[in-house]
Structure 1
Amino acid sequence: MGKAGTKGVSRADRERQIIDMAVEEFGTRGYAGVSVAAVAQRAGISKPLVYSYFDSKDGLYLACVHRVGGLLVDAVAAARSRSGSTGHALDTLGALFTTVERHRHAWSVLYDPALPPLGELRDAVGRYRGRLAAMGAAGAAQLLGRAGHDDPLDHELLNDVWQYAVTAVMRWWSDHPDQSAAEMTARCARLLTTVGAG
């Protein structure tokens, strides 16, 4: 891979290259396990250059959160064509798989359990997670509403089940990186069909 710090690279392109390397580092090693020096070395640039773009490790992580958070939110939002139907769950998973396949560490960056419990990073991550959770809750509510179920506790439970299920699926995929997005979508289609038939 070419060095991000070579002359003739625009600031925007260089920034994208640094973020791409940082997403991979943070997604693989977690926030606590990554240094600015490691990201700079991986990107083939100097540590001061990273600081000149992002000010700090937190600034760099925040840029990564905005990049992957936006991608994941956009993917889920685009998967609403069958909203309120059982197909909506599969559409959502398929959109997430396609996005994460192209940006393999996106999920790990946004759902890193080792983030500091307070502060700007946690707030930014919380906003993106909140948007994803709200879209999941809306889909669950529409599905139950179409079936004539209006018990708020049913809605709450289904939403919690969905959130945990998506996280479990994404973690499973992380442990099985040989699986493509298409294979994961087909696998989940089989499972959802089997569970729905029960």
Structure 2
Amino acid sequence: MSDISGEAAGARAANPARRRRVPRPERERQIVDVAVQVFAKRGYHGASVDEIAELAGISKPMVYLYLDSKEGLFLACLRREADRLVGAFEGAATASGATPELRLHAGLLAFFSFVAEHRDSWVVLHRQASELSETIATAVAQARRAVMAQVAGLVWAGIEDSGPDSQLSDEDADFVAHALVGAADSLTDWMTRHPDQSPEGVTLRLMNMVWAGMGRVLKGEVWVPGADG
């Protein structure tokens, strides 16, 4: 018997009649809630649809009826958690002030806060999905492109705000966006090893490393090997 949600399983068992009346969208949400926990704890291959069904309070055939297969269930988890992450980034970046750097700061803070607050979700999105089937890897890539487009747009807005003398191009904006997203991915593992570090602190350090550095380049300062010698 799993130790993931024993109390919830007991509550469901106490009232089977109510369980049968749950609307399908709500039931699917409950299944995905449980599945995210199980996939995060057991891994994709170690997770059991039997365990997920038991914790969700329905039969195994009902899980397949709702979500088709184990891969379909994992994809439902992946897409929902990716939508939540992208939505958190977009919502914060859209609602937080006029300047591109403030919007980017807010988006990155929302990203790191999501990872800190929804560790199971991040395990599913970041550590497991890319190692599975082509269908799942494609869903991960789509989610990553959505975040990348947001970041690149904010970087390009910052370049435009620097004035007509800027020497940076669309390719430079894309380069910085990839560097930022790649750094953010890697820093989530760093945060796990440094639990005393807050999302706010990590966001500020990343902004100082990347955005401040880009600001120097926009002012014409470019590092070249051997230039100081």
Quickly name the TM-score band, shorter chain normalised: 0.7 to 0.9
Corresponding residue for 1:18?
Answer: 31
Structure 2 residue 112 is the aligned partner of structure 1 residue 97: yes
CA contact (8 A) 1:30 1:114 kept: no
Alignment of 1:1-198 (within 5 A): 1-3=7-9, 6-9=16-19, 10-11=22-23, 12-43=25-56, 45-80=58-93, 81-82=96-97, 85-111=100-126, 112-116=129-133, 118-119=134-135, 121-147=136-162, 148-176=166-194, 178-179=195-196, 183-190=198-205, 192-193=207-208, 196=212
Q: Work out whether residues 40 and 124 of structure 2, in 8 Å CA contact, stay in contact via their aligned partners in 1.
A: yes
Q: Which has the larger radius of gyration?
A: 2
Match of 2:62, as an amino acid? Answer: L
Query: Is residue 22–residue 60 contact of structure 1 (8 Å, CA) maintained in 2?
Result: yes
Note if contact 1:93-1:185 (Cα within 8 Å) is conserved in structure 2: no
Going from structure 1 to structure 2, the CA distance change for 1:41 and 1:179 (only over 3 Å counts) comes to farther
Secondary structure at the aligned position of 2:119 is classed as coil
Report Cα offsets for 1:127-163 as digits up to 9, x if no partner.
2222111112112222223233432342232122111
Query: Separation in 2 of the partners of 1:175 and 1:40?
Result: 33
Alpha-carbon shift at residue 17 of structure 1 (Å)? 1.9
More relative contact order, 1 or 2 (CA 8 Å, 6+ apart): 1
Structure 1 residue runs of 4+, over 4 Å off? none
Report the AA paired with residue 86 of structure 1. E
Runs of 5+ consecutive residues of structure 2 not aligned to the other structure: 1-6, 217-229
Q: How well do the aligned residues superpose, as a CA RMSD in angstroms? A: 2.9
Q: Aligned residue pairs: how many? A: 193
Matched letter for residue 107 of structure 2: T
CA distance in 2, matches of 1:89, 1:29: 34
State whether residues 84 and 140 of structure 1, in contact with CA within 8 Å, keep that contact through their aligned partners in structure 2.
no
**How big is each residue's C-alpha offset from its partner over 1:103-143, in whole Å with a ceiling of 9 and x where there is no partner?**
33223323333121x23x33333322221111121122222
Deviation at 1:191, TM superposition (A): 5.2
Q: Deviation at 1:101?
A: 4.1
Cα distance between partner residues in 2 of 1:145 and 1:30: 44
User: Structure 2: which amino acid aligns with 1:20?
Assistant: D
Q: Name the CA distance, whole Å, in 2 between partners of 1:22 and 1:164.
A: 27
* TM-score for both structures, normalised by structure 1: 0.79
